[in-house]
Amino acid sequence: MMDHRFKSLVRQHFLLSLTILTLTLSANGNLVAQTKDTPATTQKMTPTELQTFGRQIQEIVSSQNPDKFRALFDWKTFVNRVLSEYEQNPAVKQAIQSIRLQLETSYTGSNEGIDTEILTEIVNGGDYRFLGMRKEQDQYKVIFRFLTPDGSLNYHALIIEKQQSGELKIIDIDNFSDGELISQSLKRLYLPEIYKAHLSVKDKLNQQEISRIVNQKKRYDFLTTSDEKSDPFQAYKTLPKQYKMEKPVLLLLAHDTIAKENQKKYLQVLNVFRKNYPSDLAAELLSVEYFYLIGEFTSALESLDRLSDALKSVDPYLYSLRAEILIETGDINLAGKYAGKAAEIEPNLLHPYLNLINISVMQSSFDDTVKTLGTLKTRFGINLEDLDLSELENYSKLMNSPEFKKWQASLKK
């Protein structure tokens, strides 16, 4: 989005990513069914406990210690959240034992899981930042900003439970860009096998159970169709009614309208999404990027306002993002204030410094430019040759300015 880009790094697209997890086959959203194994009475946690745990998670992720990170999860509960909906029927429970074994081997053994996927992105230059905590519908959550190496923005709400021992554990992750829990995404991944297991014991199912799995298969087919020629809006008409307003379903329609450059249809889907989920992050994550790319900067800022409100936590990255959009509107002074505020709150966040370089060059404030270039070198290891500043307004003035020449000379000493 910014005019100056890294030459040696992947070009940043900060929102449209479907996120790094291999579990992103969208949507299996029945939250009530997902949480059947959640204890009727959740052990209470204090804000201090949650905050301490959130910071512990960030520290362990930053240290890239896979064993310590894996130990923060209650994998047994996580697997139960994936399968418990189907295991109420003894025949089905027996039929899907191989699936449970596969999941337990992956998540309670030493194989790769969610934790490994996240750490892989951190090793490759991503960032996982604790922002705050909250309690919603008797669930305790810690909120993380997730910046992937390619610059994509996502947020995770890690759902926390207190064990009988008093330890806090992660039992699931709400993946905001997909509009669903990771356990729901994983359930979707295994749905074809679960469906076959149901068919193998069909004579032992009641009509309600048969209808449920058949309808879930229809939803699965809708959300995983990869034929570019297909029209999801036509398929949507045949989708069972209970799934038509699900977040992942609406997000798929929204992505289709973006791919086909149908702004009118996108706005229609967006209005439906907002009506059904007025305080949800998913649509706003998508909309900030979408409106920016089509040059609707006022709409992009309005979506950013909604995103900030829905997050319910201060995120300096969103201040920097606002600065980036304001640069495009021509409000350079206000952009500078937001970028500066972001850098002040989170000094080790790269994004605002890139905006500050842009702003300072546009304003011919070359003292500020070379100061920020120095910060990029000392704090982030980024050299001038890693940046492409050639398209910036006043670029020639910068190159010929005494401030820049003096700074260059200092590098040779």
CATH topology for 314-411? 1.25.40
121 burial (CB, 10 Å; 0-12 / 13-18 / 19+) is buried
The per-residue pLDDT for 34 is 36
CA-angle at 163, arms to 160 and 166, nearest 5°: 105
Cβ-Cβ contacts under 8 Å for 380 (sequence gap 6 or more): 350, 353
The per-residue pLDDT for 41 is 58
The per-residue pLDDT for 170 is 97
41 φ, ψ to 5°? -120, 105
DSSP assignment of 369-405, as one string?
HHHHHHHHHHHH---GGGEE-TTSTTHHHHHHSHHHH
34-38, 113-117, 128-132: range with highest mean pLDDT: 128-132
Instruction: Name the residue among 155, 163, 162 with its Cα closest to residue 132.
Output: 155
48 burial (CB, 10 Å; 0-12 / 13-18 / 19+) is exposed
111-115, 275-279, 343-347: range with highest mean pLDDT: 343-347
- Provide the residue ranges of all domains of the chain, joining segments of one domain with +: 5-224, 314-411
CA torsion angle for 85, 90, 92, 96 (degrees, to 10)? Answer: 90
pLDDT, one tens digit per residue, over 227-280 is 777 899 999 999 999 999 999 999 999 999 999 999 999 999 999 999 999 989
pLDDT, one tens digit per residue, over 181-190 is 999 999 999 9
Fill in the amino acid letter for 114.
Answer: I
* Whether residue 42 has pLDDT greater than 80: no
Positive or negative CA dihedral for 294, 295, 296, 297? positive
β-partners of residue 172 are 159
Find tokens 């800022």 and name the residue. Answer: 301
Chain-wide mean pLDDT for the chain? Answer: 87
Tokens (6 digits) for 28: 């299996």
Give the pLDDT band of residue 110 (cuts 50, 70, 90): low
The per-residue pLDDT for 408 is 86
Cβ-Cβ contacts under 8 Å for 366 (sequence gap 6 or more): 360, 397, 398, 401, 403, 404
Cβ-Cβ contacts under 8 Å for 128 (sequence gap 6 or more): 57, 58, 61, 62, 118, 122, 144, 145, 146
Report pTM: 0.86
Q: Report the percent of the chain where pLDDT is more than 90.
A: 75
Q: Report the percent of the chain where pLDDT is more than 70.
A: 89
pLDDT, one tens digit per residue, over 164-203 is 999 999 999 999 999 999 999 999 999 999 999 999 999 9
Most distant pair of Cα atoms in the chain: their distance: 84
